Structure 1
Amino acid sequence: MRYLPLICLSLLLSVSNASAQVASPPVFDVHVHLRDGETSLRAFEADTRSAGIELAGLGAMWFGGPHQALAGNPADIRVRNDGVIALAERHPRVVAIGTVHPYDGQAALDELERIASQGVKLIKLHAHTQRFDVADPRVLALVRKAGELDVAVLMDNANIVAGDSENLFNLALRARDTTFIFAHVGGLNFRFWNILPLARTADGIDMDNVYFDISATVLLMADSPLEDEFLWTLRNIGIDRVILGSDHPQISLARTLEAFERLDLSDEEKAAIRFGNARRLFGLDAP
C-alpha cells in the first residue's frame, strides 16, 4: 500500500502533462517552402505531428533555395503559381503564397491580378535570390497593385542585402495601402525596426500596414545576450504585428517553436504570435 501514493502522484502528473499539451495554442506557420507540392506538404505535416504540434495552418510557397522565380519567364511562374493554388484548394489549412517578378513589368501585374482573382491573398518577393532592387520603381508599382487587389506582400528582410531594412521601410511608407510582412524581422539588424514607434509620432504616419515574421532569427535570439533587446524590439513593433514562421525545410517548425518557447514572453503574447495575429490578418478559422 505504501506504493499507492507514488502511483497516484504519477497518474496526476501524467494527466497534468496531457492537459498542458491539449491546452497548448495552435500554430500558424507563415513561411513554408513546399518545393515538391503534395510530397513536401505530407513531409511537413508528418514532422509537425511527430513533434506534437497542433497545426492551425501554413503559408505555402513553391519557390525558394535553388528553385527561384527569376525575371524573363513569366509563363513558368504562372504554371508554378497554379500548382500551389491547386494544393491550397485540396488542403483547407494551406494558404497559397504566389509570386511574380517585378522586372517582368506588365506581365507581372497581369499575373498578380490573375492569381488574386483565384483567391490568393499573399505573395512572396525575395530581392536577394530573385535579383531585384527593392528601390526600383517597378517594385513600387507591383506592391501598390497588390494593395489594390487586397493581396499582402511577404518580403525577405534578413539584411543579406545592404540597406535592406531601410529600403523596405521606405517601400511600406510609399505603399501605405499595401499590407507587408517582413520575414526574419531584420535578421541581426532587428534593432532598426525600433524606429517604428518614433515614425508613428509623425502626422499621417501610422505604419499599420507592416507586420513581421520571426523565422530563423528567433533561433539566434533565444537565450542569447541579445534576447532582451529582441523582445524590446518586438514590443516596440507591437506584439500584434508579429507572426510565427519557420522557413521550412531549411529550419523545422519544431526547432522554431523550441526556440520560441524559450523567449521570455507572456502566455498571451506567445498565443498571439503563434496563431492569433495570423488568424486576424488572414481571416482564419480556429482549428
Structure 2
Amino acid sequence: MVNDIEVIDSHVHTFASDDIAERIIASFNKIYDIEFANPGNGTISNVLNNMKEGGIDRTVMVNFAPPKIVHQNNLWTLKAGGDSGGKLIPLVSFHPEMEGVLTEHLENYINAGARGIKLHPMAQGFDVRDRRLDELFRTCSQRSFPVLIHCGRVSNARLNEYSDFECIVPVIEKYPELPVILAHMADGQIDRCLEVSKKYSNVFLDTSIVITGYPDIMNVNEPSWLDDGQVVSIINEVGADRIIFGSDFPWGSPIHDLNRIMNFKLDHHQKELIFSGNAKRLFKL
C-alpha cells in the first residue's frame, strides 16, 4: 500500500527459475530487438521482493506460451498463484491450436483459481478472429471473464499483424459484454485510446510500458508518453475507471512506474481506481 492506496500490478510475467527466465528473456529481447536493460528476471522471488520494496500488495501474472506448452504453463501459473497466499493472481493463456476443448480447459482453470485470460497474438502467432476461439470468447462474455490482449508493437518491432488494433477491434465489437483489456494503452496511440474508450464500454487500457517511469524505457521506447501533463489529460478524457496499472515486469519497472503515476495531478479516487479499484472489479478480487 502506498499513500493509503492499495496497489495491484496487473501486468507481470513470471518464470519458474533463474535459468528459464534467462533463456526466455534473452530470446525475446533478441527477437524483438529490445534495446533497454531488463530491471529484473521475473522469478517468483524476484517479483515478491519487488512487491515488498515498492509497496505493491498484489501482482497479476500474465504468462503465455506456444500451443504445445501453453496448458502446462497455465498449470504452473495457477500453482504459483495458489502457493502465494493471494499475493500472485493468475491469468491463463490460450491458443487455437492447443490440445483439448478450450471451454473445458477454461472451466478447469477457473476452478483452480484463474481470474482472467492473457493473449499475446503476435508472439503466440495467431489471429484472435480465428473461429476456433469463438466459443471461448462467448463463454467469457457470459461470465464477464476478462481477457487482456497485447496490443501493438513490442519495443518498436512488429513481426506480424495479429496484435494490430485492426485485428482486435472485431472481437471487441462481436462480444460487447466481454471485458477486454488492451495492454500498453492500445500501443500508446492517443487517438485510438480515445476512440476505443468512447466507442466501446467493454474496453479497458493498461498503463504498461507507455506510462512508464523506468529511465531506460523512457529513453529508447517510441510509444512511451513522457509529458506528465499530457498523460493526465488523456487519463481524464478516457476516464480513470477505464485504466489499469500494469508494469510489464521484467521488462518494465513496477517501482518506477508506480512512483511516476502516484505523483500525477490526479485526485485520490482516480488513483485508487487506477492502482487497484478497476483490477479488483474486473478480476473479481
Smaller-chain TM-score bracket: 0.7 to 0.9
Matched, 1:278 2:258: no
Q: Contact between 2:116 and 2:146, CA under 8 Å: does it hold in 1?
A: yes
Q: Which amino acid aligns with 1:234?
A: I
The equivalent of 1:144 in structure 2 is 138
Hey, what's the Cα distance between the residues in 2 that align with 1:58 and 1:122? 13
Q: Secondary structure at the match of 1:104?
A: coil
Deviation of 1:270 (Å): 1.9
Deviation readout 1:255-275 (Å, 9 max, x if unpaired):
211332343433332222111
Deviation of 1:85 (Å): 1.2
The equivalent of 2:206 in structure 1 is 213
Hey, what's the Cα distance between the residues in 1 that align with 2:263 and 2:107? 41
Moved over 6 A (4+): none
Q: Secondary structure at the match of 1:217?
A: coil
Deviation of 1:22 (Å): 6.3
Q: Which amino acid aligns with 2:101?
A: A
The equivalent of 2:47 in structure 1 is 44
Deviation of 1:218 (Å): 0.4
Q: Secondary structure at the match of 2:94?
A: coil
The equivalent of 2:76 in structure 1 is 83
The equivalent of 1:60 in structure 2 is 61
Q: Contact between 1:223 and 1:263, CA under 8 Å: does it hold in 2?
A: no
Matched, 1:26 2:20: no
The equivalent of 2:188 in structure 1 is 188
> CA 1:267 to 1:122, structure 2 compared with 1: closer, same or farther past 3 Å?
same
The equivalent of 1:4 in structure 2 is none
The equivalent of 2:118 in structure 1 is 124
Deviation of 1:235 (Å): 2.8
Percent identical:
23
Could you tell which deviates more after superposition, 265-274 or 102-111?
A: 102-111
Question: Per residue, is there more helix in 1 or in 2?
Answer: 1
**Structure 1: where are the runs of 5+ without partners?**
1-20, 64-68, 200-206
Could you tell which deviates more after superposition, 99-108 or 184-193?
A: 99-108
Deviation readout 1:20-69 (Å, 9 max, x if unpaired):
x963422100111111179812211212323xx22221111343xxxxx2
Hey, what's the Cα distance between the residues in 2 that align with 1:149 and 1:105? 23
> CA 1:190 to 1:22, structure 2 compared with 1: closer, same or farther past 3 Å?
closer
Q: Secondary structure at the match of 1:158?
A: coil
Q: CA RMSD in A?
A: 2.7
Could you tell which deviates more after superposition, 147-156 or 122-131?
A: 147-156
Q: Which amino acid aligns with 2:51?
A: T
Q: Secondary structure at the match of 2:248?
A: coil
Hey, what's the Cα distance between the residues in 2 that align with 1:184 and 1:101? 21
**Structure 2: where are the runs of 5+ without partners?**
19-41, 213-217, 219-223
Q: Which amino acid aligns with 1:188?
A: G
Hey, what's the Cα distance between the residues in 1 that align with 2:62 and 2:97? 20
Aligned residues between the structures: 245
Q: Secondary structure at the match of 1:133?
A: coil
Deviation readout 1:214-273 (Å, 9 max, x if unpaired):
10000255543xx54443333333210111001111112112113323434333322221
Q: Contact between 1:144 and 1:177, CA under 8 Å: does it hold in 2?
A: no
Q: Which amino acid aligns with 2:277?
A: G
Deviation of 1:188 (Å): 3.0
The equivalent of 2:215 in structure 1 is none
Q: Which amino acid aligns with 1:246?
A: S
Listed as ranges, the matches of 1:258-273 within 5 Å are 258-273=259-274
Q: 2:66 aligns with which of 64, 70, 79?
A: 70
Hey, what's the Cα distance between the residues in 1 that align with 2:198 and 2:143? 30
The equivalent of 1:5 in structure 2 is none
> CA 1:263 to 1:251, structure 2 compared with 1: closer, same or farther past 3 Å?
same
The equivalent of 2:151 in structure 1 is 157
Hey, what's the Cα distance between the residues in 2 that align with 1:86 and 1:244? 24
Hey, what's the Cα distance between the residues in 2 that align with 1:282 and 1:145? 16
